[in-house]
Amino acid sequence: MPVQIIYSGKAHPQDNDGKELIKSIIHFIQDHNLRNHIVFLEDYDINVARYLVQGVDVWLNTPRRPFEASGTSGMKAAVNGVINLSVLDGWWCEGYQQDTGWAIGSGEIYTNPEEQDSIESEALYNLLEKEVIPLYYKIDRVGLPREWIVKMKSSIKKIGATFNTHRMLIEYTEKFYLSATREGQNLSKDSALKAKNLVAWRKKLKERWPQIYLYVDEIVSEKDIYAGDKYPVRVKAHLDTLTPDDVTIQIYYGLLDIHDQITDGQVVDMKPVENIGDEYIYQTEISLPASGRYGFTARALPKHPDLIHPLHPFTPLIKTWE
């Protein structure tokens, strides 16, 4: 069951590791006399890509998770009847289904890239040897790989219907262009009054943000807490010259995993209930639907009616409430 691998692509001019990798592949082919099995196609461009997506059987993409930005080439391959074999990263997290192709691993997160490479390469070789190549060579009496064709067809059907420029344009238009236009009109009317106010507010916020402190009150309750109970949480927020109109204080909470990391985190807004000088007491309740160990932390986000997105790179310090 012979296989031919065709490599193509370009390393970014400043990506020395990428360039070295390409060199090592070319040397490997020369040193092992593998020119009939492995080919490196130079000068990848839209024309070379066009021949590739029309001519190959499998589109192999092995990014190191989570660095694949999207992976559009896999979508182009799919509509040309090529079956994708890729790490669950970028678009393939959404595009992969059992009948549209193959997934290398199951989207695990690794802290050590060498360990990740070793495990995922093993998974890739297993898939190639046990599933991909045998399926390709499994032909019926008239010489057709029926099961391969079934997979090819459902890949064309499902991926072509979901990953296309119609959807891209609609989503860009609705999510970004239209809302950006509305926002632009809102900010520029009345001689850009709102834009001027927003700029002044952002300047104030940027100056004041480092003075914000949150003191989280860890109310240790003596009584048992049952699944389904609510747990009260208080935060003392030192807002300096800012007020609750400028910031949203939230609790981020969820069940803890074995590494004490919050999983499936939820967010709840807090309410200011008391004001002493430049300090505000915020309160809320978190619901604990399941049994287990929960963790929570507090955060402050900028708040303004004309702010397009609350995620600004200002981080408050969190201290223990003494």
Ligand X SMILES: *Cc1c(COP(=O)(O)O)cnc(C)c1O
Rounded to a whole number of angstroms, the minimum distance from the CB of residue 43 to ligand X is 10
Check residue 71 for interaction with ligand X (CB under 6 A): yes
Pseudo-torsion of CA 313, 317, 318, 320, nearest 10°?
180
Check residue 54 for interaction with ligand X (CB under 6 A): no
Check residue 46 for interaction with ligand X (CB under 6 A): yes
Taking the least distance from each CB to ligand X, the nearer of 87 and 270 is 87
Check residue 43 for interaction with ligand X (CB under 6 A): no
Rounded to a whole number of angstroms, the minimum distance from the CB of residue 315 to ligand X is 33
Check residue 79 for interaction with ligand X (CB under 6 A): no
Measured at the CA of 166, the angle between CA 54 and CA 311, to 5 degrees, comes to: 110
Length of the chain in residues, anyone?
322
Taking the least distance from each CB to ligand X, the nearer of 104 and 205 is 104
Q: Which structure tokens are listed for 157?
A: 């059907």
For 86, 261, 308, the CA distances from 25, given in Å and listed in that order, are 19, 40, 47
Find out whether 297 and 251 touch, Cβ atoms under 8 Å: yes
Taking the least distance from each CB to ligand X, the nearer of 44 and 213 is 44
Check residue 13 for interaction with ligand X (CB under 6 A): no
Taking the least distance from each CB to ligand X, the nearer of 57 and 229 is 57
Rounded to a whole number of angstroms, the minimum distance from the CB of residue 106 to ligand X is 22
Rounded to a whole number of angstroms, the minimum distance from the CB of residue 48 to ligand X is 7
Q: Binding residue for ligand X (CB under 6 A) from 38, 49, 79, 156?
A: 49
Positive or negative torsion for Cα 131, 133, 139, 145: positive
CA dist 31 and 22 (Å) reads 14
Check residue 84 for interaction with ligand X (CB under 6 A): no
Check residue 65 for interaction with ligand X (CB under 6 A): no
Q: What is the residue-wise DSSP string for 125-192?
A: HHHIIIIIHHHHH---TTS--HHHHHHHHHHHHHHHHHSSHHHHHHHIIIIIIHHHHHHHHHHHHHHH
Near ligand X by CB under 6 A, which window of 69-77, 146-154, 282-290, 294-302? 69-77
Check residue 45 for interaction with ligand X (CB under 6 A): yes
Binding residues for ligand X, rule CB under 6 A, total 9
Taking CB under 6 A as the criterion, which residues in 175-214 touch ligand X?
Answer: none
Near ligand X by CB under 6 A, which window of 71-79, 121-129, 197-205, 272-280? 71-79
Backbone angles phi, psi at 162, to 5 degrees: -105, -40
Q: What is the residue-wise DSSP string for 18-43?
A: HHHHHHHHHHHHHHTT-TTTEEEE-S
Site residues, ligand X (CB under 6 A): 44-46, 49, 70-73, 76
